[in-house]
Amino acid sequence: MHDDIEAIKQLKARYFRTMDTKDWPAMRQVFCDDVVMDSTASGGSVITGADNCVSFLQSVIGDVLTVHHGHMPEIELTSPTTANGIWAMEDMLRWPDGRELHGFGHYTETYAKIGNHWRIRTLVLTRLRLDMTSAQNKA
């Protein structure tokens, strides 16, 4: 049980690292093939399928400097091959034109163990706070 919870923590750490380093092939490996990513509560959309999710992220933040941190995981194993999780998160993004976003919120997720590896099956991003700085306000 403890090993599975630790593996899910490692999975989420890889999610954040591969997003920030733009390692798209490695990011693809954190998702189930049929993943559903829902960011409607934070102004986004619903995207289905791992390849579509990675392509979407690449198109939206491929040239954006990003820093994502996940904190305080609440992970519940619901069976030997399924789990639920909630992560507090903070992110900072800087676009090439100088716009910046600093956000705070939560990831609510489900996970599936496929073979010996945990993967993200569903991901819902919600925001508690979102601070935007426009390019013209930058010095």
Distance separating alpha carbons of residues 139 and 95, to the nearest angstrom: 15
Q: Is the dihedral of CA 100, 61, 44, 26 positive or negative?
A: negative
- Contact by Cβ (8 Å): 109, 85: yes
Q: How confident is the model over 77-120, as pLDDT tens digits?
A: 999 999 999 999 999 999 999 999 999 999 999 999 999 999 99
pTM of the entire predicted model: 0.93
Residue 59, token pair as written in the block? 């198109």
Class of the CATH domain delimited by 2-137: alpha beta
Q: Domain residues of the chain, as ranges?
A: 2-137
pLDDT digits (tens, 9 = 90+) for 1-30: 789 999 999 999 999 999 999 999 999 999
